[in-house]
Amino acid sequence: MSTPAKITCVEDFRQLAERRVPRMFYDYADSGSWTESTYRANEADFHKIKFRQRVAVDISKRSLRSSMIGIDVAMPVAIAPTGLTGMQHADGEILGAKAAERFGIPFTLSTMSICSIEDIAKHTSQPFWFQLYVMRDRDFMERLIDRAKAANCSALVLTLDLQVLGQRHKDIKNGLSTPPKPTLANLINLATKPRWCMNMLGTKRRSFGNIVGHAKGVSDLSSLSSWTAEQFDPALCWADIEWIKKRWGGKLVLKGIMDAQDARLAVESGADALIVSNHGGRQLDGAPSSISALPGIAQAVGKEIEVWMDGGIRSGQDVIRAVALGAKGTMVGRAFLYSLGAMGEAGVYRCLQMLANEMDVTMGFCGRTDIHDLDRSILLNPDVFD
């Protein structure tokens, strides 16, 4: 039996999650759209970036502590918003939020989460972040924003790149649903996941907690399915961000920026941060990797807005690479989901420990002692994506 101490890297968590999580939910996390070329590039492109090793430098005192939109963080990493997290492990969002709080980094709850905003607020003592989609039902959106304010969320993360849904072949073939439909194939697969099934029997949270019972006309799974298919708004434009910012009144982060021109518009919108993100390769297949898009965007906006990135981070070394290329912060999604599916809250905490250790050691090898001192000079090929 694996224990957190025996896990040495994110890949170990991925392999364990693949064994423990039902196929349709593991595939939901571990897949991209169409040919998955962007999904693969997100991870592969990090390996093109090489470090400069420095020696005989006093690295006895090192610090990863930083801040993201004015919030002190143990390292420049936040847990990204991920849908259906509570299907990777029972009460998954609650467990992830608790692990993040214990470690000292932000947790972001997705609109399409299984546990609700109120669930997270009940089980944590520190403010968390809430991710919002722009939907046609503006009344529902306003109530979601108000619920996030009531739960003392300290930032709103607005996702801009899901006006239409990228075609995800594995989800279609698996007949993805929450909870899984009692088909013969699903029942056979679930029979091989006793740990997951036992945990799921112990919770009542098995559907979209932020939506069912809150959105008009959504009271059961059949109506939820049709509602979500109709709700994502292809008419989303920058004017929508203005009223969302006004309604919210707090820190606003824009997620899904992959172009320098859009980054400039993000600055003009008055947002506090932007996230260079291609939705984990789950939307526009054929788009560049997030890490390759980061330097141009960081250069385009300078210090006018905080620039973060997500997509493909599988180690603390990847975080160091992103910071060196201009990211003030990063977000991890799949690394979080793999560790959660594999070992629940203990897995997530162990994953964060690993990322921090990898960051700390790598920074030391590069002859630096403070995360704020990292820039392109720690890289052998700093212009690799220019």
- Is 277 inside a domain boundary? yes
- Is 384 inside a domain boundary? no
Whether the CA torsion 202, 206, 210, 212 is positive or negative: it is negative
Q: What is the pLDDT of residue 312?
A: 98
Q: What is the pLDDT of residue 2?
A: 64
DSSP string, 54-113: --S---SS-B--EEETTEEESSSEEEPP-TTGGGTSTTHHHHHHHHHHHHT--BEE-TT-
Is 123 noted as a catalytic residue in this protein? no
Q: What is the pLDDT of residue 1?
A: 47
Catalytic pick among 47, 89, 169, 279 = 279
Give the residues of the chain that fall short of pLDDT 50: 1
CA distance 179 to 252: 32
Could you identify the residue written with the tokens 């056979």? Answer: 188
Q: Which residues are annotated as a binding site for glyoxylate?
A: 28, 133, 168, 279, 282
- Is 71 inside a domain boundary? yes
- Is 39 inside a domain boundary? yes
Q: Residue 308: which CATH number?
A: 3.20.20.70
pLDDT for 65-100, tens place per residue? 999 999 999 999 999 999 999 999 999 999 999 999
Query: DSSP state, 376?
Result: G
Q: What is the pLDDT of residue 74?
A: 98
Per-residue burial over 20-59, b if 16 or more Cβ lie within 10 Å, else e, is bbbbbbbbbbbbbbbebbbbebbbebbeebebeeeeeeeb
Domain that holds residue 170: 4-378
- Is 265 inside a domain boundary? yes
Q: Which residues are annotated as a binding site for FMN?
A: 81-83, 110, 131, 159, 255, 277, 310-314, 333-334
- Is 249 inside a domain boundary? yes
Which amino acid appears at position 330 of this protein?
T
CA nearest 124: which of 133, 113, 115?
A: 115
CA distance 126 to 108: 12
- Is 13 inside a domain boundary? yes
Q: What is the pLDDT of residue 77?
A: 98
- Is 386 inside a domain boundary? no
Q: What is the pLDDT of residue 55?
A: 97
Q: Which residues are annotated as a binding site?
A: 28, 81-83, 110, 131, 133, 159, 168, 255, 277, 279, 282, 310-314, 333-334
Q: What is the pLDDT of residue 367?
A: 98
pLDDT for 356-384, tens place per residue? 999 999 999 999 999 999 999 999 999 99
CA distance 123 to 137: 29
Secondary element (H or E) of residue 308: strand 306-310
Q: What is the pLDDT of residue 233?
A: 92
The domain tally of the chain equals 1
CA nearest 133: which of 160, 115, 156?
A: 160
Per-residue burial over 369-381, b if 16 or more Cβ lie within 10 Å, else e, is bebeebeeebbee
> To 10 degrees, what angle do helices 260-269 and 290-301 make?
50
